[in-house]
Amino acid sequence: MKNVTLKQFRYFEALARLGHFGRAAEACSISQPALSMQIKALEEELGAALFERDRRQIRLTSFGEEIALRARDILRALDDLEGFARASRGGLVGRLRMGVIPTVAPYLLPGLIAELTRLHDGLDLHVRETVTPRLVQELNEGRLDAAIVALPVSEPSLTEAALFTESFVLVRPRWDDGKPVPNRDALREMRLLLLEEGHCFRDQALFFCNKSAHAAPRDLLDASSLSTLVQMVEAGLGVTLIPEMAVAVETRSASVSVARFGNPEPSRTIGMVWRRTSPLANQLTQISELVRRSAGAVRPAAA
C-alpha cells in the first residue's frame, strides 16, 4: 500500500462514478491511456481487480465497491481538510465549488459571478449546473461545497439558508393576451408544457395544477429547458409556467403573453445548502448573503 496515491484514488472514484473510461478521463483532465495505467497500477498495488471489463461496459467488482466507499470517505476528508485550511486563513479565498439548479443558473449566475469576482479576487469559483438530486449527492460526497436549490431539500446532513421567494407566471400564446387568467381547475384541463422529469420545477408546477405526474402523454409535453418551453408556447403547443426570475430573459424575443395568477400565487423558495460539517460554514453564510443581494438585482418587482 506504500505506493497508492491520492491521485489514483481520485481517478478511481471518477471511473467508479461515471462507469466509462473516456468520461472519467475527461473529468480528471487526463488522457484515457493515462487513466487506464493509473487504475491498473492501483489494482496491482491492492492485489485485486477493481472493475470487471468487457467490450460494452465496465462495472465494479465486489472488492471494488468496498474500495469505492472507502476512497470517497478519504477524498471527502481530504476536501474537508482543505476547507479547514482555507477557513483558517479567513476571508473568501481559494477554490469554491458551487452547484446551481438549471432554472436559476442562467438568470442569477452572471451577476453573482461578477460580484464575487469584484469583492473577492482570491476566490477560485467552479460552477456545476444540474438537477437537485445530483447536487445533493455531490454535496454529501464532498464534490461540492454548496448549492443553490429550491427549498426544502429535507436532507439531515445539510444546512439550509433561505434566500428569497419568487412567484411563477403563466406563459400563453400571444393571441391569448387579455383573456382571463385560468384558475387551478381550468389550468388542469389545458395542455401543460413542463421540464422533463428530474427537475424540481416540474414537480412544483404539477403540484400547483393538481395534475398527476403520470398524466397521459397528450396532456403533458416535456422540454429540457425553460427556453424550449417558451418557444413551444410561441408555436401554439400549449401553455407553461416559468419562475419570475426567468421572465425578462426568456420572453424578450418570444411572441408570447405573460400573466400573473391571482392569490394564492404559485411560488418557490430558493436557498443555499451546504454540509453541516463543512469547515467553510461561516464563509458560506457570507456568500449566501451576497447571493440574496444579487438575486434582488435580477428579479422584477420583489415577490
- pLDDT on residue 229: 93
- Map grid coordinates 416559468 to a residue: 242
Mean residue pLDDT across the chain: 84
The H-assigned helical ranges of the chain are: 6-18, 21-28, 32-46, 62-89, 105-119, 132-140, 184-188, 200-209, 226-234, 247-251, 281-298
56 phi and psi, to 5 degrees? -95, -35
Domain stop point among 56, 81, 106: 81
In a domain, 202, yes or no: yes
- pLDDT on residue 213: 46
Which H helix or E strand runs over 162? strand 158-173
Q: What is the pLDDT of residues 208-257, one digit of tens each?
A: 877 544 444 345 677 889 999 999 999 999 899 999 999 999 998 899 99
Q: What is the pLDDT of residues 253-291, one digit of tens each?
A: 899 999 998 888 889 999 999 999 888 888 889 889 988
The DSSP bridge pattern shows strands 51-53 and 58-60 to be antiparallel
In a domain, 76, yes or no: yes
Reported as a pLDDT band with limits 50, 70 and 90, residue 303 is very low
Share of the chain above pLDDT 90, in %: 30
Q: How many CA atoms lie within 13 A of 184 on its CB side?
A: 11
- pLDDT on residue 265: 86
- pLDDT on residue 96: 86
The H-assigned helical ranges of 175-298 are: 184-188, 200-209, 226-234, 247-251, 281-298
- pLDDT on residue 212: 44
- pLDDT on residue 84: 61
In a domain, 303, yes or no: no
In a domain, 287, yes or no: yes
- Map grid coordinates 457570507 to a residue: 286
Q: Which domain holds residue 44?
A: 6-81
Contact 35, 21 (CB under 8 A): yes
Residue 115 has pLDDT above 80, yes or no: yes
Asked whether the bond before 264 is cis by omega within 30 degrees of 0, the reply is yes
Contact 120, 92 (CB under 8 A): yes
- pLDDT on residue 228: 92
Q: Does 223 share its domain with 193?
A: yes
Domain stop point among 53, 81, 109: 81
CATH of the domain at 60: 1.10.10.10
Q: Does 152 share its domain with 275?
A: yes
CATH of the domain at 118: 3.40.190.10
Q: How many domains, in total, are found in the chain? A: 3
Q: Does 152 share its domain with 284?
A: yes
Section 136-155 average pLDDT: 91
Section 59-85 average pLDDT: 79
- pLDDT on residue 83: 63
* Torsion on CA atoms 302, 133, 106, 174, rounded to nearest 10: -70
In a domain, 51, yes or no: yes
Share of the chain above pLDDT 70, in %: 88
Sequence-distant (6+) residues with CB within 8 A of 278 are: 80, 83, 145, 146, 159, 284
DSSP-derived secondary structure for 263-282: SSPPEEEEEEEEETT-TTHH
Q: Does 142 share its domain with 156?
A: yes
- pLDDT on residue 1: 58
How far, in Å, CA of 286 to CA of 203, rounded?
30
Q: What is the pTM of this model?
A: 0.73
Q: What is the pLDDT of residues 17-60, one digit of tens each?
A: 888 888 888 888 888 889 889 898 888 888 888 888 877 778 88
Residue 169 has pLDDT above 90, yes or no: yes
Q: Is 228 helix (H, G, I), strand (E, B) or coil?
A: helix
Residue 124 has pLDDT above 90, yes or no: no
In a domain, 67, yes or no: yes
Q: Does 179 share its domain with 234?
A: yes
